[in-house]
Amino acid sequence: MSFWLLIPILLPIAAGAALPAVTGGKRGRLQVYVAAVVAANTVIALAIANAGYAGLRVLEITPVINLFLRTDDLARFFLVLASLLWLAVTFYAFAYIEREAKDAAFFRFFLMSYGAVAGAAMSGNLFTLYLFYELITLLTYPLVVYSGTPAAMKAGVKYLMYSFFGAGLALVAFVFVAHFGVTTDFTPGGVLDRALLAGNEGLLPFMFLLAFLGLGVKAYIWPLFDWVPASYPLAPAPAAALFSGVVSKVAVLAIIRTTFYLFGADFIFGTWVQTALIAITMFTVFSGSMLAYKEKLFARRLAYSSVSQLSYVLFGIILLNPLAFLGALLHVVFHGIIKTALFLCAGAVSRKTGKTYVYELRGIGKAMPITMWCFTLAALALVGIPPTGGFISKWHLAMGGITSNHPTLGFVGAGMLMVSAMLTAGYLVSIFAAAFFPGHNYDYKKLVNTEPGKLMTVPLIILAALAILPGMFPASLIEYINGIANVIIQ
């Protein structure tokens, strides 16, 4: 029994619960405490990932209802991504939350969410996944409503409503799986039993649609992304960054688990639900980019951008072929890094200058060169300019689309990725172009350097570098993901 698998879950949750008692409201002590916990937890998570496969089953109430943690390839993949991003955001958050009085509240839930995310990443069966998935919703809710304004409160409620509604939809499908599956432990290739299923095959695509859309709420799928533009601009930047960078990826993980480990690609392949979901994800890709292009509020533009980018990933998953799956998981990594960086940049700008609208950002690159350079590099990566990471993932997604079992739809999908990339360039290039080229009459004498401190810039620089360097040398990453894909897609 590998009880140490519980550490990355329980440590942050316990540490978060004990946070006010330990730190006693002193900021210095709080920062050391949080940094120590997050760093320790990240090290443990990396050690667990490094140790290879392990499994732990506790609280076995029934064969379905029990807590099962295990670290297969996919779990380790998400665990590493989540813990690295969490670590980067933590230091940034110290600088960002600095001026607020309620920092203990923020960091308490910040830590506890970390535990829940680690739990979701390592979950080995349906019940565990669902448990941590709901836990993430609850523990991240305070991060959304953190500013305490009525607008934030309402956005928080909207977030809760959509999340629980989605989880409710997914739960229906999970009951279906529990009923017709031989087990609810995640099994490559799926758990559904054809003999048990006989007579109810017609129900399967419908149930899969419920699961996909339900879990897709947190991955911003149409028509359930309406909470995203409402809540992200009101959440503090580190929280928005983690939502877009990590929490949405947990939803992706849940969808991958559902698609390939519960329903099984064979059952979905070629059914109407695959066609429908390809169309829906394609539309979401377009819709998110289009709305981002039209949006003037910086953080909301990035939120809409996430809507679009997450559907790249979902598009790659639902194509059900190894090439697209490779693209999807690469995009999970790169979008996680890139969007975290972008949200952190937007946060740094609004924190240091109070500017939240994109048309206020003229000349900001002169005042905050490091921040805006990081923004520029991350933005180019998101557009998919080679040799950045965004290019590699987009290439595999589009090739996956063209070679899929739906050649026409896949072809249109690949075209949609291009249209979306064009719009992405439209809404991001305009920002950094105005930031660095303020116009010949820009008054350089009035220029005040508002560059944030090292707590903010160092994570930004690291994230910007990570958006580019793995794009140049992705061989081991591709090999790892292909290892996963070979097991689950035949």
Partner 1 sequence: MTFSGNPSLLVLVFWPIIGAVAGYIVGRFNKNYRDYFASFVAATTFLGIAAIALTSWPANLPYFEWSAFMGFRMYFRLDGFRVVYGVIAAFMWMATTIFAREYFAHYRNRNRYTFFSMITFGATLGVFFSADLLTTFLFFEIMSFASYVLVVHDEKPATIDAARTYVAVAVIGGLSLLFGIFIISHTLQTTEIAMLYSAIQAYEGDPGILYLAGAFLLVGFGGKAGMYPLHIWLPNAHPVAPAPASALLSGILTKAGVFGIIIIGALIFNRNFGWGVLMVSIGGAGMITGAMLALFSTDLKRTLAYSSVSQIGFIILGVGMQAIIDPYYTSLAVHGTMLHMVNHSLIKLLLFMLAGVVMMNTHELNLNKIRGFGRGKPLFTFAFLMGTMSIIGVPFWSGYVSKTLLHETLVYHVWQFQYYSWWSSYFTIMEVLFTLTGGLTTAYMIKIFVCLCVEKNPVCQAKMAGYNKRYLSRTSSAVILVCALLMPALGLIPYRFMIPIAAMAQDFMLMTVPAYEINFLAWISLRGALASIFIGSIIYALIVRVCLMSKDEHGHMVYIYAWPSYLDIERKIYRPLLAVALPFAGALVARSVGSLLPAAAAKTFRGFNLFRAFWIRENEAAQIAADKEQAEHKTHAELAHIAQAAHILNMRFSGDFFKVVFSSLAYSLLVFFIGFAIVQIVVFTG
Question: Does 203 help bind partner 1 (rule: CB under 8 A)?
Answer: yes
DSSP β-bridge partners for residue 70: 55
Applying CB under 8 A, which of residues 45, 67, 97, 169 lies at the interface with partner 1? Answer: 169
Both tokens of residue 159?
A: 């977030």
Contact stretch for partner 1 (CB under 8 A) within 27-35, 39-47, 145-153, 251-259: 145-153
Applying CB under 8 A, which of residues 115, 119, 124, 142 lies at the interface with partner 1? Answer: 142
Task: Count CB atoms within 10 A of the CB of residue 444.
Answer: 8
Smaller CB separation from partner 1, 83 or 306: 306
Name which of residues 216 to 245 contact partner 1 (CB under 8 A): 222-226, 230
Q: Tell me how far, at minimum, the Cβ of 208 lies from partner 1, in Å.
A: 13
Contact stretch for partner 1 (CB under 8 A) within 1-9, 26-34, 65-73, 168-176: 168-176
Question: Does 369 help bind partner 1 (rule: CB under 8 A)?
Answer: no
C-alpha distances (whole Å) from 294 to each of 35, 344, 488 are 38, 21, 39
Q: List the end-to-end C-alpha distance of the chain, in Å, as a whole number.
A: 32
Name which of residues 101 to 140 contact partner 1 (CB under 8 A): 102, 104-106, 108, 134, 137-138
Contact stretch for partner 1 (CB under 8 A) within 82-90, 267-275, 333-341, 426-434: 426-434
Contact stretch for partner 1 (CB under 8 A) within 58-66, 254-262, 391-399, 454-462: 391-399
Q: Is 207 exposed, middle or buried (0-12, 13-18, 19+ CB in 10 A)?
A: buried
Applying CB under 8 A, which of residues 158, 187, 462, 487 lies at the interface with partner 1? Answer: 158
Mask 251-290, x = binds partner 1 (CB under 8 A)?
--------------------------------x--xxx-x
Q: Tell me how far, at minimum, the Cβ of 115 lies from partner 1, in Å.
A: 17
DSSP β-bridge partners for residue 46: none
Smaller CB separation from partner 1, 48 or 380: 380
Q: Cα(186)–Cα(454) distance, rounded to whole angstroms?
A: 43
Q: CB–CB of 129/137 below 8 Å?
A: no
Applying CB under 8 A, which of residues 22, 36, 43, 418 lies at the interface with partner 1? Answer: 418
Q: Determine the size of the site formed for partner 1 (CB under 8 A).
A: 88
Smaller CB separation from partner 1, 8 or 363: 363
Q: Is 347 exposed, middle or buried (0-12, 13-18, 19+ CB in 10 A)?
A: buried
Applying CB under 8 A, which of residues 24, 52, 270, 387 lies at the interface with partner 1? Answer: 387
Name which of residues 437 to 476 contact partner 1 (CB under 8 A): 437-440, 442, 444, 471-475
Contact stretch for partner 1 (CB under 8 A) within 3-11, 141-149, 335-343, 448-456: 141-149
Question: Does 409 help bind partner 1 (rule: CB under 8 A)?
Answer: no
Name which of residues 281 to 340 contact partner 1 (CB under 8 A): 283, 286-288, 290-291, 293-294, 297
Q: Tell me how far, at minimum, the Cβ of 93 lies from partner 1, in Å.
A: 15
Handedness of CA 314, 317, 318, 324 (dihedral sign): positive
Applying CB under 8 A, which of residues 422, 447, 486, 490 lies at the interface with partner 1? Answer: 422
DSSP β-bridge partners for residue 181: 192
Contact stretch for partner 1 (CB under 8 A) within 38-46, 89-97, 165-173, 256-264: 165-173
Q: Tell me how far, at minimum, the Cβ of 294 lies from partner 1, in Å.
A: 5
Name which of residues 2 to 61 contact partner 1 (CB under 8 A): 20
Smaller CB separation from partner 1, 75 or 178: 178
Smaller CB separation from partner 1, 48 or 240: 240
Q: Cα(49)–Cα(163) distance, rounded to whole angstroms?
A: 29
Chain centroid offset of residue 410 CA: 24
Applying CB under 8 A, which of residues 13, 171, 253, 255 lies at the interface with partner 1? Answer: 171
Applying CB under 8 A, which of residues 18, 64, 429, 487 lies at the interface with partner 1? Answer: 429
**Interior/surface letters 147-168, b for 16+ CB within 10 angstroms, e for the rest:** eeeeebeebbbbbbebbeebbe
Q: Tell me how far, at minimum, the Cβ of 148 lies from partner 1, in Å.
A: 5
Task: Count CB atoms within 10 A of the CB of residue 83.
Answer: 26
Question: Does 365 help bind partner 1 (rule: CB under 8 A)?
Answer: no
Q: Tell me how far, at minimum, the Cβ of 393 lies from partner 1, in Å.
A: 10
Q: Tell me how far, at minimum, the Cβ of 290 lies from partner 1, in Å.
A: 4
